[in-house]
Structures are given as structure tokens and as C-alpha cells.
Amino acid sequence: MPTILTIIFSIVSSVVFCPQINLINIFLCTLVSAIYCFGFGLGSKILADILDSKFDWLEQTNLRLIVGFIANTIFLLIVVIGVDIFIIKVLNKGDISLLLSANRIWKNFIIFTVAAAISTIFHAKSFMIHWKNSIIKQKELEKENISSQYSALKSQTDPHFFFNSLNTLSSLIEEEPKTAEKFVQELASIYRYILEQKDQEISLISEEITFIKRYLFLQKIRFENGISFNIELTEDVKNKYTISLALQIIFENIFKHNIISEDKPITIEIKNTEEYLIITNNINPKLNKEISNKIGVNNIISRYQFFTDKKIIIEKNTNYSIHLPLLSK
């Protein structure tokens, strides 16, 4: 890019600024043009990269434009004046006062205008790259959501979960009819929530916790003393968000991969810090482990990447702990 700009600048400057067109003047014009172009081209790219790291084009468009305009103007003025001083003092051995002559001011104005156009190209390119990447991310999110919906619908019609629920319900109908009625209500609420949330990208923590309490209610009836859980959340976290149905996937994995009985109980804890929702459980691994298709946690990780740069933290020792970044809408 600087090479092409140097050739263009050399032709323009030779015609416009050189008093006489000859080999020496063309050489000097080419040298000066190279300094200008590499200064403008490389400098504008570096400046654009720095601003892109500080300001998001899509979320902070106006601020990015204003700061970019001010910073770019200052940068171009420094380059134009700096190179002109180099020409006056080094190449022409002249007096610095020439910098304020009408002819110099006019020439520098033309150079500044051309440089501004060149710089605009770099910033426009930066915007287009970010815009294109946002479209790609959106497409990726749509694919992830399709996968998530498939996983949610699969859980909804999971014969094991449904069969176990029916078995538990049948034993309750005669022995504890009131509990059976509550069981049916909670089971219906679970399926209704899954259907409502399968098209959502994020959900309130409070809604996810309500859902998971219903889920644990059913499992508690089935496993009785094989399950204990504790939920300790601060009030402010309930207004934060997480990926829709994330807790469903996490809790399904807990019951899928662990032995649960009175002899080997599972203890589940949900708590939060300022930045994370943390789900922890002890590990009672099954002897015959089910083959994992990796859809679950990997799906959550991939979808989180669209909303935040914070990473999901997974810790595994005697306990399994997953830290989900808290999201703001």
C-alpha cells in the first residue's frame, strides 16, 4: 500500500510542486513522497489499530468517530509539519521561517487534504472489517442457537427423564396425592419454560434459578436424601443475565455423570461473586460412564463468546465447579 501511494504521490508532487521537471527534482519528490506516504500509511494504520482496541466500532460508533477525527487530525498535522521542516532544514538548507510563507501553507494544506483522504481509507477499512466480523459472529450465534434448541428439545423428549418422572409420579399418586399434584405442576412448568426460552439468547438469572428449583424439586422427590442443594445469591445478581437454558445443561450433566444415592449423595451449591455465577457439586463418577457428545458445556462456552470476553472457568478436583460470567443486557 505505501509503495502504490508513493508512486501516486510522486507523480502528483512532481507536477504540482516541482519548479522544473528533471531527474533530480523527480528523485527529490519521490524521496519526500516516500516519507510522506510511509508516515501517513503506516501511521494511520497503527493509529486505527490503537483506536480499535480502545473503542468498539459497533457499540461506540459516535465516540470512535469523534476521537478518531481529533486524533487523526493531530497526527496528520504533526507529520505534514515535521516533514516540511525536514525539507526546509535538511534538503534545502533554508530558514525555518519559510514554514509560515503563503506558498508553504498552501502546499501543506493540499498535502494535508490528500493525507486525510488516505487516512480515511484506513479507518473505513477498519470499520468494514469490524462490521463484517459482527455479521460472521451473528451467523455463528444463529448456528449455536440452532444447536442449543436441538439440545433443549432433545432434553424435553428425553425418554429417560420422562420415564423416570412417570415412575416417580405413579408411586406418589396413591401414597402422597398432594405431592403428586405438586409434582405434575412443577413438571409442566419445566417443559413450559423450555419451550418459552428455546428461542431466547439470554435469560435473567432469577428466571433460571426459578426453573432450576423446579428441576431440583423433581429430582429431590426421586432421589430423596441422595440430593442436597444450597442457593446463596445476592439480590443484585438476580437482575443479571446468563445464556438461556445454561443451568439446564449444567444440571443435566450433574445427574448424567454421577452416581446419586443415600450412600453416595450429591451436594450442589449455587452462589455468586461480582462477576460470576458459580455452580459446584461433589463428584461421584459412574463406573460405566456415558459417552459425552460435548454439545453441552462447549455449546455454552461458544455462545458466551458472543456476549463477553470473559472466559468460563471450570475447576475439577474432588468437586466440579463451573463459573459462568454474569451478563448485563
* pLDDT for residue 250 is more than 60: yes
Nearest to 123 by CA among 59, 49, 53: 49
Residue 152 has pLDDT above 60, yes or no: no
Look at residues 74, 84, 69, 72 and name the one whose alpha carbon lies nearest to residue 17.
Answer: 84
Confidence band for 76, pLDDT divided at 50, 70 and 90: confident
Residue 160 has pLDDT above 70, yes or no: no
Architecture of domain 157-325: 2-Layer Sandwich (3.30)
Nearest to 86 by CA among 23, 25, 31: 31
| Domain ranges across the chain | 2-137, 157-325
Cα angle 122, 8, 13; round to 5: 115
Other CB atoms closer than 10 Å to residue 192's CB: what's the count? 11
* Contact criterion met (CB below 8 Å) for 145 and 201: yes
pLDDT at 104 over 60: yes
Give per-residue pLDDT as tens, 280-297.
999 998 877 655 555 578
Share of the chain above pLDDT 90, in %: 19
Name residue, grid cell 521537471. Answer: 21
Is the model more confident about 69 or about 9? 69
Helix (H) or strand (E) holding 229: strand 227-232
Report pLDDT digits (tens) over 35-63: 777 777 777 778 878 887 888 776 777 88
Of residues 65 and 204, more confidence is placed in 204
Q: Any idea which residue has 509539519 for its cell?
A: 81
The dihedral through the CA atoms of 93, 99, 105, 111 has a sign that is positive
Grade residue 20 by pLDDT with cuts at 50, 70 and 90.
Answer: low
Q: Which of 18-32, 85-99, 142-156, 199-213 has the lowest mean pLDDT?
A: 142-156
- pLDDT score at 153: 46
For cell 412448568, the residue is 189
Model pTM? 0.54
Max mean pLDDT range (9-13, 36-40, 262-266): 262-266
| Most confident of the following: 46-60, 67-81, 143-157 | 67-81
Confidence of residue 108 (pLDDT cuts 50, 70, 90): confident
Q: What share of the chain is helix, strand, coil (3-state, %, to 5)?
A: 70, 10, 20
Q: How far apart are CA 18 and CA 132, in angstroms?
A: 43
User: Average pLDDT, stretch 185-210?
Assistant: 86
Average pLDDT over residues 171-183: 82
Mean pLDDT, the chain, as a whole number? 79
Most confident of 3-12, 258-267, 294-303: 258-267
- As a whole number of angstroms, the distance between CA 19 and CA 82 comes to 22
Most confident of 61-75, 120-134, 235-249, 293-307: 235-249
Residues near 320 by beta carbon (within 8 Å), at least 6 away in sequence: 254, 280, 281, 282, 283, 314
- pLDDT bucket at 14, cuts 50 / 70 / 90: low
